[in-house]
């Protein structure tokens, strides 16, 4: 759950900046920035659980690029739907769905790499201590 919380903090920050920049409206930008990452945080948690549960995905945990792409697809869809629902503007929804998830996918890649390295280092240290 700590992994989800750390990514949520990154996601909320990026969404706020992008939504405000696109709308020019602090209230609407903030609303988009609160709802879209909230839904994507739940999606992120489900995505992580799927990658831990299914053997086909579990074997590929270290494939950061593949895992990033799979989450990006979810993220693009959520960003579009939330922005479109709140603004009624498909073009703005498309912009938000392109810009915000692209920046967050970049952040996700490095977050995932850092988390994978931390987990592997922790597991390696436990094996050394137990041996």
pTM comes to 0.65
CA-nearest of 70, 42, 77 to 56 is 70
Going by C-beta distance under 8 Å and a sequence separation of 6 or more, which residues neighbour residue 119?
none
**How many Å apart are CA 18 and CA 92, to the nearest integer?**
11
Q: What is the pLDDT along the chain (131 residues), one digit of tens a residue?
A: 788 888 888 888 898 899 999 999 989 988 998 998 889 889 889 888 888 888 887 787 777 788 888 888 888 989 999 999 999 999 999 999 999 888 988 888 898 888 888 877 766 565 545 55
- DSSP of 65-128, one letter per residue? HHHHHHHHHHHHHHHHHHHHHHH--HHHHHHHHHHHHHHHHHHHHHHHHHHHHHHHHHHHHHHH
**How many Å apart are CA 28 and CA 12, to the nearest integer?**
14
């Amino acid at each position: 759950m700590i992994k989800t919380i750390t990514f949520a903090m990154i996601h909320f920050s990026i969404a706020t900046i992008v939504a405000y920049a696109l709308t020019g409206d602090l209230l609407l930008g903030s609303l988009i920035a609160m709802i879209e990452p909230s839904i994507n945080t739940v999606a992120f948690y489900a995505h992580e659980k799927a990658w831990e549960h299914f053997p086909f995905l579990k074997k590929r945990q270290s494939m950061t690029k593949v895992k990033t792409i799979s989450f990006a697809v979810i993220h693009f869809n959520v960003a579009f739907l939330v922005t479109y629902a709140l603004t009624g503007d498909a073009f703005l929804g498309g912009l938000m769905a392109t810009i915000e998830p692209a920046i967050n996918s970049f952040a996700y890649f490095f977050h995932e790499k850092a988390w994978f390295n931390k987990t592997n280092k922790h597991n390696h240290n436990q094996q050394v201590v137990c041996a």
